[in-house]
Amino acid sequence: MTTVSIASRTAGWVASIGMLFLASACGASRPPSPANAPSAATPNVAPTTPVTAQTSSTPASTAGMITVSDEIRRACGLSEHDAYFPYDSAALESQDIAPLTSIARCFTVGPLTGRTMVLVGRADPRGPSDYNLSLGQRRADSVERYLDRHGVDRTKIDTSSRGAMDATGSDEAGWAKDRRVDVMLGG
């Protein structure tokens, strides 16, 4: 009876240690939580000009988590709104549906029919650079899937990620603006 009791306790300890090891290994793939995130003064973050500046070559914002170039916005009749992803998310928000549906319609039966587009996923500077590149790509892919389901030919969409390479935020409000997908006309 003592042998079974010791074996049971040993198995319990082994299982506990295994779970702790597994949790530690899985935790390494996620960025730090917003409360524990490094400041924007981290040496690997270079300040750049904000991507949402209003010029013909840079994107203007629209709803949810996308920014749309001025050229597409004008051609598709989209208004300007702030448009960004929640922290550590690639999920489309409900406010993104209307502008993405308008973009899909514009590229399938509207003035931009047959044109190509470029989707560039972006992230805030918190978390490892490889994670941020992956998250930016997931964001661009999420928008691509939505557009594809709404008739835009995937061969007309090019997706990429800049991760946090061009991030400019230094606090939560700024970081929120770094989390987006830029939608631009292709070449």
CATH number, domain with residue 100: 3.30.1330.60
In a domain, 64, yes or no: yes
153-179 pLDDT, tens digit per residue, is 999 999 999 999 999 999 998 998 899
Within-domain flag for 19: no
Task: State the first-to-last Cα distance of the chain, in angstroms, to the nearest integer.
Answer: 76
pLDDT at 14: 40
Percent over 70 (pLDDT), the chain: 62
Confidence of residue 72 (pLDDT cuts 50, 70, 90): very high
Please state, in angstroms and rounded to a whole number, the distance separating the CA atoms of residues 137 and 12. 41
| pLDDT value for 80 | 66
Output the pLDDT for position 3.
Answer: 42
Which range marks the domain in which residue 117 is found? 53-185
Indicate whether 26 belongs to any domain: no
* 139 in a structural domain: yes
Report yes or no on whether pTM surpasses 0.75.
Answer: no
